[in-house]
Structure 1
């Protein structure tokens, strides 16, 4: 099967075997992880992409294709890789510490060989070995946060490269008068109405946008994001980078007029990396005039900067 280069969100995953399992259980709630296997993949050892979804740490799901870039599909096929996409608990029902606990537990689960065990059962006709020495960790927006925090908190040698699209290197901040994709800030009572509806003890690790998207924006605009995330600065990449000596090769993509995640946060993160002489290559691509999620429909064949950047990642991931 030739790699599909012209997908839409509705057809984004048509060229994959799509699986869902779980990596963690809290009470009766299972935190899910999706696994994508290209349909043409043959038996053998294959590199791994771990991809975290966006959503401000408030909404999103591992298989929500509206926020999954079109360029991602041919990239996966070209590299004959297997993709692992974890969910994680969400604000405001849970805290930043809870989310980072899920991140740690996911990597423990991943390192235990559980993905390979699952695939052996799901594909008994194939021998699919995960090449855990060639792992790319990636994510967009909140997923970029999860990707960077993976590299900042896990053993550095675990990852060959990081691809972070408009990542949250710092907490979300906005002005009440700001607009997001032309939409005004929701009324302040959306936060308290949501909190009052929360069932005590409930676990939320998935939400399909646009559900809760307004809540994420309101938490930022009314200065209440840290009330639920927590105030430990070391839970953010922009401060955590001060504690590390080395990082995997990292490519950060950001739109110059991003109204959700300030491009200045990515620039400051890279400045700290450079000023502290953290070992490891970092590449920042700022696209003038581009909004949050600008890359969703982009194709390598039409964007030279994207083609060159993915080649840069691929060379470091697969070497």
Structure 2
């Protein structure tokens, strides 16, 4: 798999923000490649382009996609509206700038009128958002364990939680020094590696502690939208029959606030009732980001990888790959 890292915009301080771009040199060059725009996980508070599993990026590239994974600014330095603007800007860059650049520099020809969008967790919400804005170009969306219906004031994302694993997470009120690390002066953080595990005795990064504490305290939505305008950030508040084909994949044992099984079942009904071509897949014995475990798709080719592949194949099937 070939890859390059390119700036696609600057933050408010003039610092570049990047996207990773992937394609397979083994794919026949006889036809134009569609674009797969992929948004990483991290609760809008962490993550970077490397967060999305490499095996999934390779799978899409080998199917014939140009895979674009943009990074976006993170809470708490910005709000959800600025993050969503980054997602929209990355879409514009991927469809308007990248095709000519890749053809000139690498001989890779792109079809900017055939786009699919995918994301995990908060990135899944961004994927739904972009899909809802570009219904004439986006051919399909796959959202893994997205945050849904947070415009609903009764959504669990608005309230403190004590369900595992949050019951064992200590509260984190950052010190001045730690706040400076989370929100450094002169730069807006758009890449913060997402930690899935740690060695015994290894310190947990302060951003990870702060992130978990925000969810535990029920403060995530307040950081996302301090002005309380959740409707503009909640794709499920504007489901329409014109939406592109949409698949949601969700672990039955996902207990992250705003992402429980009942909320996913509600999304399934709303999509069906609106007339959207859609499929919801509930994965047994699977928690949040079950497909991000390093073994899934590498040494483990079992049921969890097959569910991930179903989401990837949903995308390729709607652009003729």
TM-score bracket for the superposition, by shorter chain length: 0.7 to 0.9
Structure 2: runs of 5 or more not aligned: 151-156, 196-204
Report the number of matched residues: 291
Mapping for residues 1-319 of structure 1, pairs under 5 Å: 16-26=1-11, 27-44=13-30, 45-64=32-51, 67-68=52-53, 70-77=55-62, 79-112=63-96, 114-123=97-106, 127-152=107-132, 154-171=133-150, 172=157, 175-180=160-165, 184-190=168-174, 194-195=178-179, 198-200=183-185, 202-210=187-195, 211=205, 212-230=207-225, 231-234=228-231, 235-241=233-239, 244-260=240-256, 261-275=259-273, 277=274, 279-296=275-292, 297-299=295-297, 302-303=302-303, 310-318=312-320
1:253-306 CA-partner distances (Å, limit 9, x unpaired): 00001122323332222222223x2x4311000012211121234449644655
Superposed displacement of residue 42, structure 1: 4.4
Most deviating of 36-45 and 303-312 = 303-312
1:218-274 CA-partner distances (Å, limit 9, x unpaired): 111112222221121211123232xx3421111110000112232333222222222
User: Partner of 1:12 in structure 2?
Assistant: none
* CA RMSD, 1 decimal: 2.7
**Residues 310/98 of structure 1: CA separation in 2 closer, same or farther (3 Å cut):** closer
Superposed displacement of residue 196, structure 1: 5.9
For residue 179 of structure 1, give the secondary structure of its aligned residue in structure 2: coil
Superposed displacement of residue 202, structure 1: 3.0
**Residues 49/247 of structure 1: CA separation in 2 closer, same or farther (3 Å cut):** same
Superposed displacement of residue 73, structure 1: 2.5
Q: Are 2:283 and 2:307, in contact at CA under 8 Å, matched by a contact in 1? A: no
Most deviating of 301-310 and 27-36 = 301-310
For residue 76 of structure 1, give the secondary structure of its aligned residue in structure 2: helix
Superposed displacement of residue 103, structure 1: 1.7
1:12-64 CA-partner distances (Å, limit 9, x unpaired): xxxx1111111111232111111002132343411221111000110000123
**Residues 224/128 of structure 1: CA separation in 2 closer, same or farther (3 Å cut):** same
The alignment's TM-score, normalised by the length of structure 1, stands at: 0.81
Superposed displacement of residue 94, structure 1: 0.7
**Residues 258/282 of structure 1: CA separation in 2 closer, same or farther (3 Å cut):** same
The alignment's TM-score, normalised by the length of structure 2, stands at: 0.81
Structure 1: runs of 5 or more not aligned: 1-15
CA distance in 1, matches of 2:249, 2:277: 14
Superposed displacement of residue 91, structure 1: 0.6
**Residues 183/73 of structure 1: CA separation in 2 closer, same or farther (3 Å cut):** farther
CA distance in 2, matches of 1:287, 1:201: 43
